Structure 1
Amino acid sequence: MRVLSRLLLAVSLTLSLISIPLLTSGSAQALENHLALTPPMGWNSWNTFGCNATEQIVKETTDFMASSGMRDAGYQYLTIDDCWMERSRDSGGRLVPDARKYPHGLAELATYVHGKGLKFGVYESPTYHTCQGFPGSLGYEQQDANTFASWGVDFLKYDNCLASDPAQRVGDEKLPLETRDGTMRDALERTGRPIVFSLSLQPAAQGESPWEWGKSVANMWRIDGDRDASFDGLKRLIHTDLDKAKWAGPGGWNDLDMLGTGNYAYAAGSSDPTQRLTYDQEKSELSVAAVLAAPLISGADLRTAAAAGTAGFPISSQDLSVYLNKDVIAVNQDSRGEQGTAVSTTGGLNVLRRPLANGDMAVALFNETSSPSVISTTAAAAGLPANSTGYNLNDLWAHTSQVSTDGTISATVPAGGTVLYRVSPRPTSTGPANVLVSVASGRCLDAWNNQTSPGTKIEIWSCNGGANQRWAFTSNGDMRAYNGTQCLGAMNGVLSSGTSVVIQPCDASAGQKWQLNADNTITARSQLGLCLAVAGENTPQGNTDGTLVEVHSCNGGANQRWTTQ
């Protein structure tokens, strides 16, 4: 019976391989599943829970991600790693969830995750057994893919542990990894369900270069061995990735393994908090991952303190604030999809750069040494075009802006820290800075309390000629304040009636583009039916100091008309 089983397995593999197009190293053809057009973001259970993840833990994590802001920030995939299944398949050859850990099954768990607006992932391996000795998918690719699709799986992490040791490789485990992974790729495609395909392997140990062929097989691939939550582990992965930018892009990404931010468990089953990243190192991790266009997959305990159990080290509010930095996430998720590269790496002082879709450049000054250091570069070295009026440097962690008139980009960077700038050429054709006076009230468009930080509310206030009341229109549609360092924009970029307007770093987005019209209205360039308006229509309440300004459906009211002085 065992011989017959092996024979049937070999026949099955041979038939499945016939339909696989030949893959060659260095293939530039992208996987055509139209998924992961930006780096995937989410959570994986392994680094904190190892084989101890359960249905309850996954549901608590789901609840936290939905309520904490992580889901809304873009973290969407929750993946349970190895050990989720029984040691044997059922009589029909199907994978069976461990009934003690997942008493309601994985289809129900996927439904729960989906109900919170998130997506669900599982783990498997293109070998006879997974890393922890559970049934692998080798020879069962289509059956397992169909099972995953029927459960509502959205993400598959595909490992290769036991095949990394030549002494353990038997039979079809000796097939090239590219071929075995390609078999699962095709099986997933045949299910018709969109499932992000992630290759988790040990390239150095296995003599593989998945970045050279990964994009034709998967949506993301590991570039080195497992990392722990230490700073040394982070530095190793960063330097391993710096020469692999040409292989990444929309639909396929170099993977730095799970993020260590907030992970108090040094490795699965351990709880050594001395090995965790410092706050500055955590900011470095997210900054560099953003510039390198790496998937943002947390390995931390993402549950509330009250729910903390086996790990005992729930994420802190400070750790969470790192994950939720929307400006850094915007760099990571930039639609251009170009991985960043090194400008310079000398003595542990690194300058990295990533071109962005709107023409800006993300520049990371990364200090991997144990002492504060000044790190400097120039706009030209970072690849920005020459610009006679200089550059705006928006610090994405400090939320401050400065102007570099000569193109110098420099900062004193703390030990283990990173200063991440979004650098943009200053406009070369800016009109005079004027005050804008509301026809309804005679009060001026005003940035609250002379504040310059992103998100500062815009209101009307008695005219006083201050810098926070002077606005300059540029030829490209910006309304700039504070000598051109900040732009007026719709909150969160949402152009809809009733959305407040705020101060933002200039990013050329549609929510920051305005048109001054002959009838004294100011409309959104992309939606001319939306006007800049004093809230409260023309009521007395809408004509007092401190009344907020918003975008509103144009109606010809006096609160939607502005004169310049």
Structure 2
Amino acid sequence: MKTVIVSALLLRASVEAALYKSKTPPMGWNSYNYYGCNPTEDIMHTNAQGLVDLGLADLGYEYVTTDCGWMAEERDSEDRLQWNTDLFPSGGVALGDFIHGLGLKFGLYSGAGYYQCGSTDLPASLGYEEIDAQTFANWSGDSLKYDNCYASSPTIEADYTSAVSTSPARHEKMAAVLDGVDRDIAYFICQWGVGEDIGDWAPPISNVYRISNDIYNAWRSIWRITNQVVPYYRSTTVGAYPDMDMLIVGLNALSLQEEKFHFSMWALNKSPLNIGAPTSTKLTSAASLAVLSNKEVIAIDQDSLAKQARLVRRYTEEEWDIWAGELSGSRTVLGIANWKNDSQTVEFDLSVVNISSANARDVWAAEDIGAVSGVQSFELAGHELRLLVLSDIIESNALPKSTGKYYSAANATFGGSAQEVDCGAGTCAPKGNKISIPSEGATATFNSVAVGSAGTKLLGIDFINYDVALDTAWGWGTNTRNMTVAVNGGTAKRWAFPISGGDWYESDRMLIEVDGFVAGANQVVLAAYEASSAPDIVGFEVFE
């Protein structure tokens, strides 16, 4: 076995090249979303068999993971974790043999804290990393989901702020220890995205890394997690995928249209596809199982390029987005997302994704549209995500060009509680400091924004938002920050800014289309929306 290095910096370097890396986002089934921390041997057998019987295994759903609640309260005389024999009378080796006998992979679960999630009786792996990693290998485990409960204290289950809970050190240690056992074990980090740099440290040492706290059985959770995954396109690559959490398709939490939206958004962003519903036609509807079985959507998730889609345009007041991502074979996937409860017709020009013309296929309709070019119009149902795959693409090469002027804090005058704020450690360099617009009535005004012609212009806004809403997201919390933009005294229009990754360099800048410009000098006012805080603004460019 390889020597385990315990220095935090060396840990990362030592495992980056050697850890097992899947070529596409892992797919499988996990016990938590439906059964909570109460798995049993029968539950695992039934659902593993269901993956095979329903043809889901043939589609790529291969990891079968027993989540929290599987183990006994006490370790054995050699400090090894033990299976709860009341729940799993045949033990872990037998469970692994059963799963492997079906041609599937055996997924295991532990955590980096004092206890496993959901209990103060069941031990996690803190202080026992070497023993547990070898035990998992002895059980012929194929993957390890490594959680973050009770990280800072044996009495606090979820800590989102302490140095211990946000540090990568414990997850890096388990990565190195897994690298030291004589078995390939895929490593699934479940640190919830706490701290601002998980996109830096987690991809080199893991197959997947959770970017948010748990998904909630409601539509609003789809909005929250979608906004949180935006900046990770920079770190998504073959072998390292942002985990948007398990699928709630089939749990009677969403409408069928919303389930398609949810499944599409996870696929666009190259998230692992882990089924959370029972693999039984008695418990999960045929329609939901059909969503999970859509080969064309799965192919987008499993595309060999592993390119996460990007948020290309957002129309907040109209409640729709455009997402686009690169696929193998010189193709592009386009997602037109209607967040609105009601149906609406949306229009956009393909030039926003630098396409002049292409052949299009409507994925959910499973039909070829044929040649498309110029302005596209779509009638979208409430909460529909229209998914198109474009091929035979001719680029437009007609993207708007910057006016060449960057507008930062140095160009602004401030009203209300708005002010210029030191970015700290040069994180906004070379753009200068950032602008804080923290409360109602706060404004940043730019009085000499020059353009060459009148009409609608594209603003590229560099911003900072790390309101990950870990504490509040269980209820009605959101992680977006809203800001209004008004030009030349016109009506202020609201925009919802997603998570930026903690630093504006990590974020994709927000591109918004704003009307009301005149040729020459213009006034642009950025303001907080109602009582909420706007994102911090580094600055913006104008494109025309």
Q: TM-score range by the shorter chain?
A: 0.5 to 0.7
Give the equivalent residue in structure 2 for 1:40: 26
Tell me, yes or no, if the aligned pair for 1:127 and 1:173 is still in contact at 8 Å.
no
Q: CA offsets, 1:163-190, max 9 Å, x none?
A: 26697599x9948631111111111111
Structure showing the higher helix proportion among its residues: 1
Tell me, yes or no, if the aligned pair for 1:218 and 1:252 is still in contact at 8 Å.
yes
* 1:32–1:368 distance in 2 versus 1, CA, 3 Å: farther
Give the equivalent residue in structure 2 for 1:332: 301
Q: 1:112 aligns with which of 95, 98, 107?
A: 98
Give the equivalent residue in structure 2 for 1:193: 183
Give the equivalent residue in structure 1 for 2:284: 315
TM-score, normalised on structure 2? 0.67
* Separation in structure 1 between the aligned mates of residue 54 and residue 352 of structure 2, nearest angstrom: 39
Q: Does 1:401 align with 2:368?
A: yes
1:60 deviates by 0.5
Alignment of 1:5-404 (within 5 A): 18=6, 21-22=9-10, 32-131=18-117, 132-133=119-120, 134-163=122-151, 168=156, 174=164, 177-204=167-194, 207=195, 209-264=197-252, 276-305=253-282, 314-347=283-316, 348-384=319-355, 386=356, 390-404=357-371
* Separation in structure 1 between the aligned mates of residue 349 and residue 11 of structure 2, nearest angstrom: 41
* 1:143–1:254 distance in 2 versus 1, CA, 3 Å: same
Q: CA offsets, 1:525-562, max 9 Å, x none?
A: xxxxxxxxxxxxxxxxxxxxxxxxxxxxxxxxxxxxxx
* Separation in structure 2 between the aligned mates of residue 37 and residue 139 of structure 1, nearest angstrom: 31
* Separation in structure 2 between the aligned mates of residue 48 and residue 20 of structure 1, nearest angstrom: 36
Tell me, yes or no, if the aligned pair for 1:90 and 1:96 is still in contact at 8 Å.
yes
Partner letter of residue 90 of structure 2?
H
1:69 deviates by 1.3
Partner letter of residue 305 of structure 2?
R
* 1:201–1:80 distance in 2 versus 1, CA, 3 Å: same
Q: 1:417 aligns with which of 358, 379, 384?
A: 384
* Separation in structure 2 between the aligned mates of residue 20 and residue 391 of structure 1, nearest angstrom: 48
* 1:361–1:97 distance in 2 versus 1, CA, 3 Å: same
- Give the SS at the match of 1:420: strand
Give the equivalent residue in structure 2 for 1:527: none
* 1:138–1:342 distance in 2 versus 1, CA, 3 Å: same
Give the equivalent residue in structure 1 for 2:433: none
* 1:188–1:410 distance in 2 versus 1, CA, 3 Å: farther
1:114 deviates by 0.9
Moved over 4 A (4+): 164-170
* Separation in structure 2 between the aligned mates of residue 111 and residue 383 of structure 1, nearest angstrom: 51
Higher relative contact order (CA 8 A, sep 6+): 2
* 1:406–1:202 distance in 2 versus 1, CA, 3 Å: closer
* Separation in structure 2 between the aligned mates of residue 30 and residue 380 of structure 1, nearest angstrom: 39
Give the equivalent residue in structure 2 for 1:525: none
* 1:344–1:83 distance in 2 versus 1, CA, 3 Å: same
1:288 deviates by 1.0
* Separation in structure 2 between the aligned mates of residue 342 and residue 278 of structure 1, nearest angstrom: 24
- Give the SS at the match of 1:124: strand
Tell me, yes or no, if the aligned pair for 2:37 and 2:69 is still in contact at 8 Å.
yes
* Separation in structure 2 between the aligned mates of residue 173 and residue 212 of structure 1, nearest angstrom: 17
Tell me, yes or no, if the aligned pair for 1:365 and 1:376 is still in contact at 8 Å.
no
Partner letter of residue 328 of structure 1?
V
Q: CA offsets, 1:22-60, max 9 Å, x none?
A: 478xx9x95542422211111111111012211101110
* Separation in structure 2 between the aligned mates of residue 146 and residue 166 of structure 1, nearest angstrom: 24
- Give the SS at the match of 1:188: helix
Tell me, yes or no, if the aligned pair for 1:127 and 1:138 is still in contact at 8 Å.
yes
* Separation in structure 1 between the aligned mates of residue 235 and residue 383 of structure 2, nearest angstrom: 28
* Separation in structure 2 between the aligned mates of residue 393 and residue 61 of structure 1, nearest angstrom: 37
Tell me, yes or no, if the aligned pair for 2:148 and 2:165 is still in contact at 8 Å.
no
Q: CA offsets, 1:83-128, max 9 Å, x none?
A: 1000110111000000011100111111111111111111101112
Partner letter of residue 274 of structure 2?
I
* Separation in structure 2 between the aligned mates of residue 237 and residue 426 of structure 1, nearest angstrom: 31
Partner letter of residue 366 of structure 1?
A
Tell me, yes or no, if the aligned pair for 2:20 and 2:185 is still in contact at 8 Å.
no
Tell me, yes or no, if the aligned pair for 1:31 and 1:219 is still in contact at 8 Å.
no
* Separation in structure 2 between the aligned mates of residue 128 and residue 216 of structure 1, nearest angstrom: 25
* Separation in structure 1 between the aligned mates of residue 376 and residue 183 of structure 2, nearest angstrom: 46
* Separation in structure 2 between the aligned mates of residue 182 and residue 50 of structure 1, nearest angstrom: 27
1:426 deviates by 6.2
Tell me, yes or no, if the aligned pair for 1:259 and 1:297 is still in contact at 8 Å.
yes
Aligned length: 385
TM-score, normalised on structure 1? 0.64
- Give the SS at the match of 1:243: helix
Tell me, yes or no, if the aligned pair for 2:264 and 2:385 is still in contact at 8 Å.
yes
* 1:175–1:69 distance in 2 versus 1, CA, 3 Å: closer
Tell me, yes or no, if the aligned pair for 2:19 and 2:205 is still in contact at 8 Å.
no
* Separation in structure 1 between the aligned mates of residue 373 and residue 365 of structure 2, nearest angstrom: 22
Structure 2, unaligned runs of 5 or more? 396-544
Tell me, yes or no, if the aligned pair for 2:5 and 2:11 is still in contact at 8 Å.
no
Tell me, yes or no, if the aligned pair for 1:62 and 1:78 is still in contact at 8 Å.
yes
Structure showing the higher strand proportion among its residues: 2
- Give the SS at the match of 1:201: coil
- Percent identity over the alignment? 31
Partner letter of residue 163 of structure 1?
A
* Separation in structure 1 between the aligned mates of residue 143 and residue 372 of structure 2, nearest angstrom: 47
* Separation in structure 2 between the aligned mates of residue 178 and residue 391 of structure 1, nearest angstrom: 44
Partner letter of residue 114 of structure 1?
H
- Give the SS at the match of 1:52: coil
* Separation in structure 2 between the aligned mates of residue 245 and residue 117 of structure 1, nearest angstrom: 32
